[in-house]
A and B are shown apart, each in its own frame.
Chain A
Amino acid sequence: MADIALNARHDPEAAAATRRYFWNRFFVYAVLTLFAVIYLAPLLVVVFNSLREQSEIARNGLISLPRSFRLDAWAQAWGTYCVSGTCEGMKRNFFNSLWMTIPATVISTLLGAMNGYVLSKWRFKGSETLFNLMLLGVFMPGQISLMPWAFLLGKLGLTNSTYGLVLIHVVQGISFTTLFCRNFYVSIPDDLIKAARIDGAGFWRIFRKIILPLSPPILIVTVIWQFTGIWNEYLFGVVFTSGQQQPITAALVALTAGGTTARAYDVMSAAVLIGALPPLLIYLFGGKYFVRGLTQGAIK
């Protein structure tokens, strides 16, 4: 190695190439950093404001570095802040969201897995057509189904209830979960199913013993997708529920709209962050599985 170092002579072309490489990288990272800052800045402002005193915000403006530090706003936003007469903060709405999102995610994912299993491994006459029709749901905006849902929830007596929202999100989500699972299961060799049928396993046993054990990558993807999608959903929540039944996304609007007093930016910021926390956590812990699951086949 020493010899090589001794023999290395100055090579202007190599030096130029190194320089070019450096400036290329520099430019790329500079642009990426710029955009990262643009995207992260609002988050940073909200985090800062949730920790500042309201009086300090009023004095120094909304966008400013914190000069004070308090967690009061978080406690208020969680449990005591008054929205349209009730002083319970976001707590109740947070749990509404949770009790809506968890069952809707689990049920829609399971149904998607079963649909995908049937549409990929137990094809029947017209199953492809059926799949294509289900795919339409992926491209259909939610507002199209507002009226039908209003009618249906009314008939079922599920207006202004979390159960109603669970039902809506399960049905609206099936297109996506079916698409994900079906495309994943297509890559499982049909021979496995044939072998299992000869081995005496039926429809459910094959699903439980062979398909589901192969499914974690795609189930993680589906759960992350559904959880964040349903949690962040706003339209159905605001249309079909009110007051104490609202999920947190809808309640946040009530928070900003309500009250004649001066706006409590600190509490609002904290409330927004409380509402954003679950999907953020899911992303932080599950993000890498999300990418992996989408790109990986069933059998390595």
Chain B
Amino acid sequence: MSALMIRDLHKSYGGLEILAGINLEARTGEFIALVGPSGCGKSTLLAMIAGLETVTSGEIWIGDRLVNSVQPKDRDIAMVFQSYALYPTMTVRQNITFGMESRGVPKAEQAEAVKRVAALLQIEQLLKRKPGQLSGGQRQRVAMGRALVRDPKLFLFDEPLSNLDAKLRVDMRTEIKKLHHRVGKTTVYVTHDQVEAMTLASRIAVMNQGSVQQFDTPKRIYDRPTNMFVAGFMGSPAMNFIPARLTGSTSIAVRAADGSDATLALAAPLPASAPKDVVLGVRPEHIYRFTTDLKSRKPAVESMQAPVELVEPTGAETLAVLRLGDLEITGRFEPDDAPVMGETITLGIDMSRACLFDPTTRALL
């Protein structure tokens, strides 16, 4: 059974269309990430699921109930806000019990629930404090505690980690993942951070300009992005887009640094309907230094020459900016085997992992 089902959902303010026909579905216990650049409509979508925004047209189902016109409090959801939205005049305990008090849960039951959640999130020693006396990470925990205490059908997270510093963000990300494993609740998680989406979600909906570009598992989204937007948005450094020309049904030509064409054999033949001009999409980690040994391990690797313009060692890996025709591409290398600046190296491009796009429709071929 699906815990959340969204059918052909539209939202517009006046004449401005924010969401243009969203279809999504979350199975019970699933962790769905909504990811996209700011202004793509992901937060509006979440607010509509929560009932904080009205539906222009379409349907939202939570469990087996159509909730389009159900009040937020009756939707059986809990939400964690980017700003945490802790009630500033209440103690942590009062913050956590506020919802139960609104619903008239008996005091003994409230105390029991607070105890359970406080232990789960390790915030027992904070219960008497006010939000103003907490650090960012502690506020984050309390905000999650307030959501967890509800035991709802659906958890909604609206960019919950954006206000934390980089290190804490990674820690809390791990905690959210652990927590989800332990609690097993269906979760919808909005983020603009593709790494968060990749690490947390069982399925990701990549959104842009009010519509879902691709809704699939992190692996499928990363390996087979359905269009150039998804390909460019997911992954850092971003996928390289190299203009190319078809030279047969199984080979393409790309412009090398010296202006000559390099021919690369495709791993699989393209359909006959493919256009003459295509875009070759290669992720930085699928670019290697070419060796015969590499070719024997990965038969789909194709080679070409490229000068190294810039090298950026990060410790764990070394990024190299390579010149190809008039454009620069990024390759990700082992630090021990990294090219040096000024060198011209023979690249090995793993064509079995590469994607080809139609430059006019920007869709995957």
Task: Pick the interface stretch among B77-85, B172-180, B294-302, B357-365.
Answer: B77-85
Q: Are B98 and A209 in contact (CB under 8 A)?
A: yes
Which of A189, A198, A299, A300 meets B78, CB within 8 Å?
A: A198
Chain B residues 54-99 with CB under 8 Å of chain A are 71-73, 77-79, 81-83, 85, 87-90, 98-99
Give the shortest distance, in Å, between B357 (CB) and chain A (any CB): 39
**Interchain pairs with CB closer than 8 A, number:** 62
Which of A198, A200, A210 meets B87, CB within 8 Å?
A: A210
Q: Are A196 and B52 in contact (CB under 8 A)?
A: no
Give the shortest distance, in Å, between A1 (CB) and chain B (any CB): 40
Chain B residues 23-52 with CB under 8 Å of chain A are 47, 50-52
A72 to B146 alpha-carbon distance, docked (Å): 66
A197 to B89 alpha-carbon distance, docked (Å): 17
Counting CB contacts under 8 A, is A148 at the interface?
Answer: no
Q: Are B79 and A195 in contact (CB under 8 A)?
A: yes
Which of A192, A198, A299, A300 meets B72, CB within 8 Å?
A: A198
Q: Are B132 and A195 in contact (CB under 8 A)?
A: no
- Chain B's closest residue to A215 (CB) is B89
A197 to B87 alpha-carbon distance, docked (Å): 12
- Chain B's closest residue to A189 (CB) is B83
Counting CB contacts under 8 A, is A201 at the interface?
Answer: yes
Report the contact-size class of chain B (Cβ under 8 Å from the partner): 20 to 34
Q: A191-B85, A214-B89 are in contact. Are A196 and B78 (CB under 8 A)?
A: no
Q: Are A199 and B83 in contact (CB under 8 A)?
A: no
Counting CB contacts under 8 A, is B292 at the interface?
Answer: no
Counting CB contacts under 8 A, is A213 at the interface?
Answer: yes
A205 to B73 alpha-carbon distance, docked (Å): 13
Neighbouring B residues of A213 by C-beta, 8 Å = 89-90
Counting CB contacts under 8 A, is A194 at the interface?
Answer: yes
A10 to B73 alpha-carbon distance, docked (Å): 76
Give the shortest distance, in Å, between A203 (CB) and chain B (any CB): 12
Neighbouring B residues of A200 by C-beta, 8 Å = 73, 99, 102-103
Q: Are B85 and A210 in contact (CB under 8 A)?
A: no
Neighbouring A residues of B79 by C-beta, 8 Å = 194-195, 198
Q: Which of B51, B77, B99 has the most CB of A within 10 A?
A: B99
- Chain B's closest residue to A300 (CB) is B132
Which of A191, A194, A201, A210 meets B89, CB within 8 Å?
A: A210
Q: Are B102 and A192 in contact (CB under 8 A)?
A: no
A191 to B146 alpha-carbon distance, docked (Å): 14
A264 to B78 alpha-carbon distance, docked (Å): 73
A210 to B52 alpha-carbon distance, docked (Å): 18
A205 to B87 alpha-carbon distance, docked (Å): 13
Give the shortest distance, in Å, between A261 (CB) and chain B (any CB): 60
Chain B residues 242-284 with CB under 8 Å of chain A are none
Neighbouring A residues of B83 by C-beta, 8 Å = 189, 191
Chain A 270-300: CB-based contact to B (< 8 A → 1; otherwise 0): 0000000000000000000000000000011
Neighbouring A residues of B90 by C-beta, 8 Å = 209, 213
Q: Are A191 and B99 in contact (CB under 8 A)?
A: no
Q: Are A198 and B77 in contact (CB under 8 A)?
A: yes
Neighbouring A residues of B50 by C-beta, 8 Å = 194, 198
Residues of B near any A CB (own CB < 8 A): 47, 50-52, 71-73, 77-79, 81-83, 85, 87-90, 98-99, 102-103, 132, 146
A-B contact pairs, 17 of them (CB 8 A): A189-B83, A191-B81, A192-B85, A192-B88, A194-B50, A194-B72, A196-B98, A197-B73, A198-B50, A199-B146, A200-B73, A200-B102, A201-B73, A213-B90, A214-B88, A214-B89, A300-B132
Known pairs A191-B81, A197-B73, A198-B99. 15 more at Cβ < 8 A?
Answer: A191-B82, A194-B52, A194-B79, A194-B81, A195-B79, A196-B87, A198-B50, A198-B52, A199-B98, A200-B73, A200-B99, A201-B73, A201-B99, A210-B87, A299-B88
**A-B residue pairs, 5 tightest by C-beta:** A199-B99, A200-B102, A191-B85, A213-B89, A200-B73
